[in-house]
Amino acid sequence: MGDKKMRKPVLLKVGWEKVEWPTQQIAEAIENLFGYLGDYKPEQLGYSKTAIMGPVGKLLSMIEASQFGESVESYVGHIINIHNQSSKKLITQAGIERLRKGVEILVDLKRRFTDRDFHRIVRSVDYGVYFRKAKEIAERHERKQEEAKKEGEQSE
């Protein structure tokens, strides 16, 4: 065989490393991003997930892809720009603060977790915000139906 040297074996770590799931931070990110969406009034109404999530859906994809690295200001600035181009209502200072806080939490989680775990975190935030917003829309719709029903009964 000659003077061929053996390669060093590659060792792989097998198994799952137990990580503390950031339940509280996920809840805070959901709360802040849902609160921000209170400022967002789309020019065209829709009931698709994309329409309901507004700029938050884009934000989550951008952070997951590290479009602006760890620059909270860049993410917030980009979303404010999208917001002001696609919303009937300009973003408020309170909305900017909620958006900034949500982005800070997500950037911190991205720094601390593996890509695989962060993907799961982003999906949790995504569907958590969607659930809250869809629930709000359904409750508003039911209130309007009840009010219309009461008005119909009063006019009889």
Whole-number pLDDT of residue 55: 97
What average pLDDT does this structure show over 73-83? 97
Whole-number pLDDT of residue 11: 62
Whole-number pLDDT of residue 45: 84
The residues, ordered by sequence, that sit 6+ positions from 38 with a Cβ below 8 Å of its Cβ are 95
Quote the percentage of the chain above a pLDDT of 90. Answer: 74
CA dihedral 106, 35, 86, 61 (to 10 degrees): 20
Whole-number pLDDT of residue 1: 53
What average pLDDT does this structure show over 91-96? 97
Can you tell me the distance from the alpha carbon of 130 to that of 149, in angstroms, rounded to the nearest whole number?
28
What average pLDDT does this structure show over 6-11? 69
- pLDDT band for position 113 (cuts 50, 70, 90): very high
Whole-number average pLDDT of the chain: 91
pLDDT in tens, 53-65: 999 999 999 999 9
Whole-number pLDDT of residue 17: 61
Record the tokens describing residue 29, joined without a space. 């990110």
Whole-number pLDDT of residue 13: 57
* 68 touches 62 (CB < 8 A): yes
Whole-number pLDDT of residue 142: 93
Whole-number pLDDT of residue 16: 56
The residues, ordered by sequence, that sit 6+ positions from 107 with a Cβ below 8 Å of its Cβ are 63, 70, 72, 75
